[in-house]
Amino acid sequence: MSTKSTYEIDSLAHKGDGVARTAKGPLFIPFTLPGETVVAEPKGSHAAPIEITAPSPVRIDPVCRHFGTCGGCALQHMAGEAYLAWKREQVIAALRDRGIEAEVGDTIDAAGAGRRRAVLTALRAGHKTLLGFHERQSHRLVDLAECPVLVQEITDALPVLRKLAAPLLPRRGELRVTVTATQNGLDLAFERKEAMPVKLVPELVSSAMEAGFARLSVNGEVLVEARPPHLSIDGVPVTPPPAGFIQATAAAEQELSSLVCEGIGTATKVADLFAGIGTFTFPLARQANVHAVETDKAALAALDGGLRRAQGRKSITHERRDLFRNPYVASELDDFGRGYQAVVFDPPRAGAEAQAREIARSKVERVVAVSCNPATLARDLRILLDGGYKLEKIVPVDQFRFSPHIEVVAIMTR
């Protein structure tokens, strides 16, 4: 018996699904927009749209043939201005949940030329190799023919990536494929559960070099490096570790760095916490002495390698430290009046709760928080506000086009 019904879409949830209010509670219907009337067949708290009977005026045609199946994008059907405004609303809502009423700036569109790093999955399907992203809420894989959110260099390389992945595929299970577009070519990193058979090395190296890749690694081990896969961070050539984290787009990196440097004001001594490969360390060092702190050994080695090539910077020092288990305490930040005038922190999605508590106890004058998770950012800002800081500026930066994710920069003063 069919349970199809007509629903009015009230709002968008934080993952981008349309929300219809029903007597049984909210019903989440993907690929719908506020103000639309849709026919859907509920299954629990979710439903797939069967027909859009009254479309929103901001509805547009998707730009990718895989949209609606591929789990990588949620909002290709929403016009640009409305889409950016919705992302800003996600930041406002996260702050409000923590009792923070603050002026949030307009979302900066920093998608640029596209994402320069893709984490793909490869698996066997009979004699065929599939390569792409998982379907929405499924273990099935979408075999990518195109991807408008990636830089062209990566999408052009999809056929050769399949070829290279094929001999590494396990009989069962998946192969993780991370590809990064660098100044010197594509950097390719495979990750598999089993050790790689040595007999495959010559074939892999030959194919990678023939295709013009800068570097090829498997399970973190570099098999061949034709050229160092440099990224330019504020003019400093930095070689990230295989499959290492970087900001998704070059445009966003520039926007974020500009906001971070603005945020430290006239500070002359800055702690850059969760520094990664030096995304903010190097631009900050144009105007201040910087101490960079990072947990990941490989990322810190990349930062150190860039430091050896940096020109025209003030002092840069670095330290390996687990800031989750061993945060910088207030007395270290203050150092009896000789401490840091500004702290920058850019943690993973889990946020920096322990570190925020110590900053809140310190005398540091300025704090700049960068986050890809508005919820954990709001939690950390609440801690700092309760510790005597005030919000000076909050800006969303969108480098995750068509997804529900958003980067945010918050500037605070004591």
| Residue ranges of the binding site | 247, 274, 294, 346
Contact criterion met (CB below 8 Å) for 240 and 215: no
Q: Write down the catalytic residue from 64, 70, 73, 372.
A: 372
CA atoms of 213 and 205, how far apart (whole Å): 10
* Torsion of the alpha carbons at 270, 88, 248 and 379, rounded to the nearest 10: 50
- Tokens standing for 122? 């490869």
Residue among 302, 307, 256, 253 nearest 282 (CA)? 307
Cα→Cα distances 32→10, 48, 67, Å:
10, 10, 13
* Torsion of the alpha carbons at 292, 294, 299 and 300, rounded to the nearest 10: 50
**Which residue ranges make up the annotated binding site for S-adenosyl-L-methionine?**
247, 274, 294, 346
CA atoms of 396 and 406, how far apart (whole Å): 7
Q: What is the per-residue burial (b if ≥16 Cβ within 10 Å, else e) of 155-187?
A: bebbebbbebbbebbeeeebbbbbbbbbebbbb
Residue among 316, 325, 274 nearest 295 (CA)? 274
First-to-last C-alpha distance (Å) of the chain: 63
For the chain, the residue count is 414
The reply to whether 261 belongs to the active site is no
CA atoms of 165 and 178, how far apart (whole Å): 11
Q: Which residues are catalytic?
A: 372
